[in-house]
Amino acid sequence: MSETRWLDQDEQKTWRAFMFASKMLFEQFDQDLRRGAAMPTTHYEVLARLSEAPERRLRMSQLAELSQSSRSHLSHTIASLQRVGWVDRESCSTDRRGAFAVLTDSGFSALESASHVHVESVRRHLFDQIGDSQVEQLRAIFEQLLQHLVTVQEMTSTASTLLVDPVPTSTSAALAAAD
């Protein structure tokens, strides 16, 4: 067993600042959306992903991956969105186990209204707090971290998929499709 590489004092301060700021930032985004649009961020994320998809529809499995949600959690979210008429669920004609989530016109309208609240929240609590050079630095840092994490996830997913399913899925393909 290798020796633990403990964080030094500067790394510990950076880690804690990152952890607490991230949590507080996402809590603020959620609070602003709930207050200004009566919508939690989990619903906003699903509606946004569907709005960007061809014909405003995605397979549930792909939507779960894109929204970084478990299939079970996504299923509950879709049920909530169905109850308010923002999303329909359609069966897949080629795969009886598969289903599509489809953004309705009402859901698109709700997303359009909420997007003003969301963008203002992101601008006020993130971009207005840092300078242009810091935006570039932040993007570079998170692109580097994202690339690392996607690689780790693909390696883990490929290893476990080989045990269960001979057709591996690609997180990087999903990320490329989301761009």
Residue 122 inside a domain? The answer is: yes
Q: Kindly state whether residues 48 and 91 are assigned to the same domain.
A: yes
Residue 4 inside a domain? The answer is: no
Contacts of residue 118, Cβ cutoff 8 Å, sequence gap at least 6: 29, 32, 33, 37, 44
Q: Kindly state whether residues 98 and 176 are assigned to the same domain.
A: no
Range of the domain at 57: 9-129
Task: Tell me what pLDDT residue 159 has.
Answer: 62
Residue 13 inside a domain? The answer is: yes
- Number of domains, the chain: 2
Q: Kindly state whether residues 101 and 169 are assigned to the same domain.
A: no
Residue-wise DSSP of 23-60: HHHHHHHHHHHHHHHS--HHHHHHHHHHHHSGGGEEEH
Q: Kindly state whether residues 46 and 114 are assigned to the same domain.
A: yes
Tell me if 56 sits within 8 A of 108, measured CB to CB.
Answer: yes
* Residue 60: Cβ within 10 Å count: 19
For residues 173 and 79, give the distance between their C-alpha atoms in angstroms, rounded to a whole number.
Answer: 27
Task: Tell me what pLDDT residue 119 has.
Answer: 97
Per-residue pLDDT of the chain (179 residues; tens, 9 = 90+): 789 999 999 999 999 999 999 999 999 999 999 999 999 999 999 999 999 999 999 999 999 999 888 889 999 999 999 999 999 999 987 877 789 999 999 999 999 999 999 999 999 999 999 999 999 999 999 999 999 999 998 888 766 555 544 433 444 444 444 44
Task: Tell me what pLDDT residue 68 has.
Answer: 87
Q: Kindly state whether residues 97 and 124 are assigned to the same domain.
A: yes
Contacts of residue 162, Cβ cutoff 8 Å, sequence gap at least 6: 168
What's 120's domain CATH number? 1.10.10.10
Q: Kindly state whether residues 120 and 60 are assigned to the same domain.
A: yes
Task: Tell me what pLDDT residue 153 has.
Answer: 85
Task: Tell me what pLDDT residue 2 has.
Answer: 85
Residue ending a domain, among 129, 150, 171, is: 129
Task: Tell me what pLDDT residue 169 has.
Answer: 43
Q: 0.85 exceeded by the pTM?
A: no
Residue 25 inside a domain? The answer is: yes
In a 3-state reduction of DSSP, which class is residue 7? coil
Residue 152 inside a domain? The answer is: yes
Q: Kindly state whether residues 107 and 154 are assigned to the same domain.
A: no
Tell me if 67 sits within 8 A of 76, measured CB to CB.
Answer: no
What CA dihedral angle connects 57, 101, 172 and 71, to 10 degrees? 180
